[in-house]
Amino acid sequence: MELPGALYRSYEKRLARQVRATGKVPRHIGVILDGNRRWARTLGESPSHGHRRGADKITEVLGWSAETGVEVVTLWMLSTDNLQRDESELASLLAIIVDAVETLAADGRWRLQHVGDASLLPAESAQRIAAACERTAGNGVLHVNVAVGYGGCLLYNT
């Protein structure tokens, strides 16, 4: 058995027991999708491999959230600082993010809303994210904020 997988399953069971025991469920949780590039490098893999593996976990996290009664999840996916990455890595990362958002929309269980400045994104990426979010307007009880093109300074200045 893979040790990290066993540890995650053990943690999931422990967390589920705590939620059941206390009955306390947060209304809103935030998930910062960070560390995927570093994780991939420790395995000798490309940053895009790490980003894709991180994106693959999103549906699982949203499933847990919905099952436990969380009402809102914010996925912090791409900050304005990340927009300064080298062009090839940014293009790959944006493609993964757009694919992830479209996959979440196609799932049909979540209501997606883009948070951030779409004008900072390539036009096609911004349009695809907006279209995916629009398709989910009447979906589910779990509201998912998709934060792409966000930043503290940006929010402060607007």
Q: Which residues are catalytic?
A: 34, 82
Distance between alpha carbon 56 and the CA centroid of its chain, in Å? 9
Are 144 and 110 a contacting pair, CB within 8 Å? Answer: yes
Rounded Cα distance between 135 and 142, Å, is 15
CB-CB neighbours of 130 under 10 Å: 14
Rounded Cα gap, residues 68 and 124, in angstroms: 35
